Amino acid sequence: MRLLFTVMTVTVCGALGVLGCDAPIAHYKTMGCTPIGSAANGCPERYDCPSLTAHDSSKCYFNGKTYDISQSIPDEEVSQFCSALCYCRAANPIAKFRCTHVDCAEFFHRFDYENCLRQYKANRCCSSGTVCGADRDRLATCELEKEIYKEGQRMYFKANNCRTCICTAGFNVNATDTDPNCFETVCGFELFSEKMVYGGGIPVYKSDRCCPWEWRMPQESDGVVKGSGKVGTDPNLQCKYGKLTLDIGDSLDIQQQADAQKMSCTCQVPPLMHCVLN
């Protein structure tokens, strides 16, 4: 394993939104926000996000926890992002994490995909080993949503790609909610995109991803397209974006380039708007 002292952007794959809610809310879960109320679409009415509303630029935030300058994140909490030795450091205008990027050994070697399988453990970036030949054939198998996996392989859900399982001997497809080898995706944007996350940006999702693909900052040309809902009177049920205030159901009027991927941005679950790349 080779360690390089650099900072890189990492996005973990997954599905848009979560079961029971038709809006992408992985960013709220990652930031440790608290769901408030319930809307007709199965989503929370809004979220309470202290890291946004009471943000302290002299501190760092990750996965619902606050870190003081020089304080470190345990390696096991960031290893899935191919990172280690992350610590909070002072920066202008917002404190940020400094991490060591981990280059996995398998990144630098050819792999015999016909004869071998890489083995993985939960919440780890690098593989834990390789099994080849007859040993591979003796591995236990798992079935998830009509797909067959070998022991040690990562398994993905089609309906909820924010959850991943590792195939193990004795895997019970009916107990994935309690299986210790099944886990929810934690997004890494607080480690690498703090200026956008806590500087007024909103998450941009792709339809086949769990975590935000990028963050969009306000632009002078942005406007508001009013939705069919009534004008809000509760500021907790509105989205603030730059100089704009949007009620639930309102969308952003974006000046799109003809050759650019189309983006739609709406206020659906405050306090943040979200965008989707179509």
Angstrom CA distances, 106 to 99, 102, 167, 170, 236, stand at: 21, 11, 20, 28, 48
- The answer to whether position 191 is within a domain reads no
Burial letters 155-169, b for 16+ CB under 10 A, else e: bbbeebbbbbbbbbe
As to burial, measured by CB atoms within 10 angstroms (0-12 exposed, 13-18 middle, 19+ buried), residue 222 is middle
Higher per-residue confidence, 230 vs 215: 215
- The answer to whether position 2 is within a domain reads no
- The answer to whether position 81 is within a domain reads yes
Looking at 63, 86, 101, the residue that finishes a domain is 101
Task: Give the C-alpha separation, 18 to 16, whole Å.
Answer: 7
Q: Clarify whether residues 172 and 151 are in a common domain.
A: yes
Q: What is the DSSP string of 14-52?
A: --SSBTTBSS--HHHHHTTPEEES--TTSS-SEEE-HHH
- The answer to whether position 195 is within a domain reads no
46 pLDDT higher than 70:
yes
Q: Clarify whether residues 176 and 128 are in a common domain.
A: yes
71-75, 109-113, 210-214, 241-245: the lowest-pLDDT one: 109-113
19 pLDDT higher than 70:
no
- Report, as an integer, the average pLDDT of 265-272: 96
Q: pLDDT at position 11, please?
A: 35
Q: Clarify whether residues 216 and 231 are in a common domain.
A: yes
Residue 249 confidence class, pLDDT cut points 50, 70, 90 = very high
Q: pLDDT at position 105, please?
A: 85
- The answer to whether position 74 is within a domain reads yes
- Does the pTM exceed 0.85? no
- Report, as an integer, the average pLDDT of 76-95: 95
Q: pLDDT at position 260, please?
A: 60
Tokens 């890189």, residue located? 8
Higher per-residue confidence, 233 vs 81: 81
12 pLDDT higher than 50:
no
Q: Clarify whether residues 120 and 143 are in a common domain.
A: yes
- In 108-146, the DSSP E strands lie at 116-119, 129-132, 141-144
Q: pLDDT at position 232, please?
A: 66
234 pLDDT higher than 60:
yes
Q: pLDDT at position 231, please?
A: 67
| pLDDT tens digits, one per residue of 200-228 | 999 999 988 899 999 999 999 999 999 87
- The answer to whether position 140 is within a domain reads yes
Tokens of 19: 């079961």
| pLDDT tens digits, one per residue of 118-160 | 999 988 999 999 999 999 999 999 999 999 999 999 999 988 8
- Long-range contacts at 85-89 (CB < 8 A, ≥ 24 apart): 86/62, 86/191, 88/59, 88/60
- The answer to whether position 65 is within a domain reads yes
Task: Give the C-alpha separation, 14 to 183, whole Å.
Answer: 12
| C-beta of residue 95 within 8 angstroms of C-beta of residue 74 | no
- Report, as an integer, the average pLDDT of 88-106: 94
| C-beta of residue 166 within 8 angstroms of C-beta of residue 181 | yes
Looking at 184, 209, 229, the residue that finishes a domain is 184
Q: Clarify whether residues 88 and 116 are in a common domain.
A: no
Q: Clarify whether residues 138 and 207 are in a common domain.
A: no
Q: Clarify whether residues 48 and 119 are in a common domain.
A: no
Provide the number of structural domains found in the chain.
3
Amino acid at 86: C
1 pLDDT higher than 60:
no
Residue 4 confidence class, pLDDT cut points 50, 70, 90 = very low
Q: Clarify whether residues 32 and 86 are in a common domain.
A: yes
Q: Clarify whether residues 180 and 116 are in a common domain.
A: yes
Looking at 151, 184, 217, the residue that finishes a domain is 184
The answer for residues whose C-beta is within 8 angstroms of residue 277's C-beta and 6 or more apart is 204, 205, 206, 207, 213, 261, 262, 263
Q: Clarify whether residues 75 and 128 are in a common domain.
A: no
107-111, 133-137, 230-234: the lowest-pLDDT one: 230-234
Domain with 267, as residue range(s), is: 201-277
Tokens of 172: 């019970």
Q: pLDDT at position 258, please?
A: 58
Q: pLDDT at position 160, please?
A: 85
- The answer to whether position 4 is within a domain reads no
Tokens of 3: 């360690």
